[in-house]
Every structure is written in structure tokens, then in C-alpha cells.
Amino acid sequence: MQERIERIKKFLEEKKAEDVQIFDLKDKGYFVDTVIIATSLGDKHTAALLDYLKEKLKPLGEEFLKIDESDEWIVIDLGDILIHIMTEAYRKKYNIEEFLEAIKEGREIKE
């Protein structure tokens, strides 16, 4: 599992994704074991990162179960790993790191 996570992080960083963060949520009651968040440089970069991940990960046996796309934010469901790629503005606006950190630490989630 750790090898898969590091590989995804490496691929994102190869194509200039910024501030890649990994949240280990195994045994925390979340619906995936790991969440990876990365910041893209803009709308086209977000789509390009998705294409690059598909190109690199599918031959390695990764299965893309679901992909939700908008111009500013893409969510990739690999089953036990969830990848969020978003523009800096969206990342600041939604601050999902705080939500994930609360889950990781077992804290109550504030609405």
C-alpha cells in the first residue's frame, strides 16, 4: 500500500502538482484507507494531471472506479485510495485537510 501511495505522489509531483499531502485514515472509520490531496496550477493542469495518472497507473493494475470532474476539482476513487486534485482557490475554499485531520485524530467534526 505504501508503495502505491508513494508512486502516486511521485507521479503527481513529476507533473508539477504542488503541496501533495497524504492522509492515512486506515482504521479510522472513513470509507477509504488513504486520501491524497494535490494542488494544480489551473483548470487545464487539473485535467492533465488526471490524464497522466491514468496513463501511468492503469498499466500498473490500478483500477479507476469513479472519477468526478469539474474545472476546478477532480476526485479519483481507486477503491482504498481517494485522490483530490484541485486548484489553489478551491483548496483554500474547502479546506478538506481540516476535515481529514479531524477524522485522523478521532476528533468531532464541526459543521
pLDDT by position in tens, the chain (length 111): 999 999 999 999 999 999 999 999 999 989 999 999 999 999 999 999 999 999 999 999 999 999 999 878 999 999 999 999 999 999 999 999 999 999 988 887 665
pLDDT for the residue 106: 84
On whether residue 102 sits in a domain, the answer given is no
pLDDT for the residue 50: 97
Largest CA distance in the chain: 40
- For the chain, the domain total comes to 1
On whether residue 103 sits in a domain, the answer given is no
On whether residue 108 sits in a domain, the answer given is no
Give the CATH number, domain containing residue 34.
3.30.460.10
pLDDT for the residue 111: 57
On whether residue 68 sits in a domain, the answer given is yes
Q: How big is the chain by its Cα radius of gyration, in Å?
A: 13
On whether residue 85 sits in a domain, the answer given is yes
Which domain, by its residues, includes 52?
2-92
Nearest to 31 by CA among 78, 86, 93: 78
On whether residue 28 sits in a domain, the answer given is yes
Check if the beta carbon of residue 90 is closer than 8 Å to that of residue 72. Answer: yes
pLDDT for the residue 71: 79
On whether residue 100 sits in a domain, the answer given is no
On whether residue 65 sits in a domain, the answer given is yes
